[in-house]
Amino acid sequence: MENRGGPFCRLVSRVKIICEIATFVVFYDGYPVSPGHALIIPKRHVASYFDLTNHEREAMNVMLQFVKQKIDERFHPDGYNIGINVNEAAGQSVFHVHMHIIPRYKGDVPNPKGGVRGVILGKQSYNVLPEKESVSPVGGTQNSKSYTLEHKRKEHGNAYLPWDDEADRLLCRMYDEGKSISLLSDIFERTKEAIRSRLKKLGKIE
């Protein structure tokens, strides 16, 4: 990698390089979150992932597959978190784009559910739905937790999450392209009833 004074240029001589091609270099993080934590870094000095060329993004994905295989062979992790920080508000402190490949191991945290949602404090764990009143077998009423978000999201990962404008536009476009309710349910990780309800609200079906 050319040395133009960037932080990774100074680091590269002191870390273990996993692999290198004309446009990218991959090495183990100098301050690993877990054993095998690696970084994929373009040689071109660019701050944001969104400023990479299409070719660079494709190359980064190829490198990701390669380095995962190497980490699997050496460390045998049970899972992965993969991420890129973009801008200071998202935690970026080195303004040369880099992808983190963080191996995960069973028991490395008490409860891993939610994964990268944990970047916002308090958002990693799903909340339990409010208690709902249900009818007892003899016709009376009783207060009970009929179900939880955790239970629902085992089947549908986005259950009860609010829709946003981008998701609405994508839903409408895919529906107009002829995709079935069942397929849309899988894509958006919501129940078929939720997809139908949203399409009705958006005026796509009656």
Residues annotated as catalytic are 98
Q: How far is CA 141 from CA 27, 130, 131, 132, 196, in A?
A: 61, 16, 13, 10, 30
7: which residues sit within 8 A by CB, 6+ positions away? 94, 96
Q: Report DSSP state, residue 127.
A: P
Sheet containing 79-83: give its strands across. Answer: 17-20, 24-28, 38-42, 99-104, 79-83
Q: What angle do CA 159, 161, 163 make, to 5 degrees?
A: 115
CA distance linking residue 169 with residue 200, whole number of Å: 14
Cα-based torsion angle of the residue sequence 153, 151, 84, 76 in order, rounded to the nearest 10 degrees: -120
Which residue matches tokens 């990962």? 157
Q: What share of the chain is helix, strand, coil (3-state, %, to 5)?
A: 35, 15, 50
